[in-house]
Structure 1
Amino acid sequence: MNLGLGMAAIGRLHYINVRTNTVAKSDVNELKANGFKVLDEAYNLGVRYFDTAPGYGLAEDLLIEWLTTKNDKSIKVATKWGYTYTANFDKNATVHEVKEHSISKLKEQWQVSKKLLPFLTTYQIHSATLETGVLENESVLNELAYLKSEFNLKMGISTTGENQVEVIKKALDVVVEGKSLFDTFQSTYNILDQSILSIADTLKQEGKKLILKETLANGRIFRNSNYPKYADFYNVLESLSKKYGVGVDAIALQFCAKTIPESMVLSGASTVTQLQENLKVGLFVLTEDELNQLKSFEVKPTWYWNERKELQWN
């Protein structure tokens, strides 16, 4: 099973999550100290894939600094461009990040991201959408093709929203100088939103890689009185959790890994304890019947993303 560490919740004080009080940090110094602890623990437990971005607060700089202590060629790093973190670690900020898919933003953020070399293996458009026109922007696409060739990178996109499959299909058609540009697709996938399952086989056949994010549905897999409609879902998750002696997070992570084999599954852990619980995913094996039972809790993408829009930055 390929399990990586996504750093979205490590590098900033807030992230979209229904679970509050899960991160033991209150200022930038604590944030940084906690981040190093999580990175060290992930490495010690065998994680070798790390996913970051400039939009994740200090996460990219944190990883750049942490990698100076490593001389391990098995480490693989992915980062992104297109989002700028704007909250400045202010808990009361109303705008946490700003999206900009321009050629100038690409070149600006690459100047920092390239410091991740030689560990950097994957470079992605952060939250590619049809609306920004980034998948039709020739100057951006040509620059990405240059970076891909010059630095031997896998080039990818991350997706979000109810039309993820449509965006992936659009990206699959992007060709620069006769070659398909994108190799990886980092998309939201979990028990509730299984929409990209419909394109998983196509991507595999074309030699593309899926990287699965938001695998815990921003905390919605944990029992929450605000979601009475998920009562049966919670009962099944907790029953499996008890049966296998792991948390519901490990159940959810294994669901992702088993239903889209050969994908990279990202843990979004923000503390050492969360990471340790996530990594229990390898201690058991869900049966086909159990996987099918979990599959039955899929909701329509429109419902899922409308619900996600209502989540707060915690």
Structure 2
Amino acid sequence: MSMRIALGMAALGRPAYINLGRDTALPADRTVDAMRTASFEVLDAAYAAGIRWVDAARSYGRAEEFVAAWLADRGHADVTVSSKWGYEYTADWRPDAEVHEVKQHSAARFERQWSETRGLLEVGLYQVHSLTGDSPLFADEDLRFRMADIGVPLGFSTSGPAQADTIRRAFDLEVGGQRLFSAVQSTWNLLETSAGPALAEAHTEGARVMLKEVMANGRLAMQPPGPVADIAIRHGAGPDAVAMAAALAQPWADLVLTGAASVAQLHANLMPVRLDTVDHALLRDLAEPPEQYWRTRSQLRWT
């Protein structure tokens, strides 16, 4: 099962993020050294649990740096690393920064961030961070050619209420008669299922499908709806394990990301839960309208 799970570094590479429950999982003093140590601890625990995929991004503070240092120190040759470009981390390690990251999908940013990533890591997948329908990438043929030229499999992540439309549009993009993207990483969880049909189509057509934010940025773990809490009690697990199990139950999901910020959170996420038909029926109607879900997400505080 762990081979279908990847570790996402969004909560570990910088001192502040929007996940609920993260504030008590991390060191009180979030210096670079303390966060590096926390990252190594979670990476070690993930590797011991059989996880062999780690996902980072240029905007995740020092996540790429931490992963590169961990790999160099541990010598693991069987770990695939994916990363993303498009957002730039701007908080300068200040948890109270007014702006933590700035998005720009330009050829200039791609060239600079790709150079920064490959200076640290050998990646098995390089993704456009948070592709949306208004991204300049859809109209910028030069950018698409530059991306296709790096010799690394390409993917994209999605966010927002129109994920499904973005997924379908992006997989129609070609360079030199070849499909530009071979992977997609989208938000899917019990509260936001709208991308599901498009992700199923992508999987059927041979793309790698990765699910992110399966805890709804901690909402399903810290504020679980009644059915999630009830099912967790019945299975003797936490609500986070139920959320993970629901994501892993999707037959078109190749990888499911855990965003655990501590070893304890990771172990809780990975607790095996086998959902039955009654469970799935109880969970089926939890999804919120996409616009409502993303409006709520946009109001989460960076802590």
**TM-score category by the smaller chain?**
over 0.9
Matched, 1:146 2:135: no
CA RMSD in angstroms, aligned pairs only: 1.6
Question: Which residue of structure 2 aligns with residue 61 of structure 1?
Answer: 65
Q: 1:207 to 1:139 in 2, by over 3 A?
A: same
Q: Which amino acid aligns with 2:10?
A: A
Matched, 1:243 2:234: yes
Question: Which residue of structure 2 aligns with residue 227 of structure 1?
Answer: none
Q: Which amino acid aligns with 1:140?
A: L
The Cα of 1:88 is off from its aligned counterpart by 1.0
**Secondary structure of residue in 1 paired with 2:102:** strand
How far apart in 2 are the matches of 1:33 and 1:94?
A: 26
- How many residues end up aligned between the 2 structures? 299
Q: Which amino acid aligns with 1:285?
A: R
The Cα of 1:116 is off from its aligned counterpart by 5.1
Q: TM-score w.r.t. structure 1 length?
A: 0.91
How far apart in 1 are the matches of 2:302 and 2:172?
A: 35
How far apart in 2 are the matches of 1:128 and 1:223?
A: 28
Structure 1: gaps spanning 5 or more residues? 225-232
**Structure-to-structure mapping, 1:3-42, within 5 angstroms:** 3-19=5-21, 21-25=23-27, 26=29, 27-42=31-46
The Cα of 1:159 is off from its aligned counterpart by 0.5
Question: Which residue of structure 2 aligns with residue 299 of structure 1?
Answer: 288
Percent of pairs with identical residues: 35
- C-alpha contact 1:54 1:84 (8 A) present in aligned 2: yes
- C-alpha contact 1:184 1:208 (8 A) present in aligned 2: yes
Matched, 1:78 2:78: no
The Cα of 1:21 is off from its aligned counterpart by 2.7
Q: Deviations over 1:88-130 (max 9, x none)?
A: 1112100000111111111111112114554x21110011122
Matched, 1:96 2:100: yes
How far apart in 2 are the matches of 1:273 and 1:160?
A: 28
- C-alpha contact 2:86 2:110 (8 A) present in aligned 1: yes
- C-alpha contact 2:20 2:222 (8 A) present in aligned 1: no
Structure 2: gaps spanning 5 or more residues? none
- C-alpha contact 2:81 2:124 (8 A) present in aligned 1: yes
**Secondary structure of residue in 2 paired with 1:131:** coil
Question: Which residue of structure 2 aligns with residue 179 of structure 1?
Answer: 178
Q: Which amino acid aligns with 1:5?
A: L
Q: 1:311 to 1:288 in 2, by over 3 A?
A: same
The Cα of 1:262 is off from its aligned counterpart by 4.1
- C-alpha contact 2:241 2:273 (8 A) present in aligned 1: no
The Cα of 1:70 is off from its aligned counterpart by 4.2
Question: Which residue of structure 2 aligns with residue 124 of structure 1?
Answer: 127
Q: TM-score w.r.t. structure 2 length?
A: 0.94
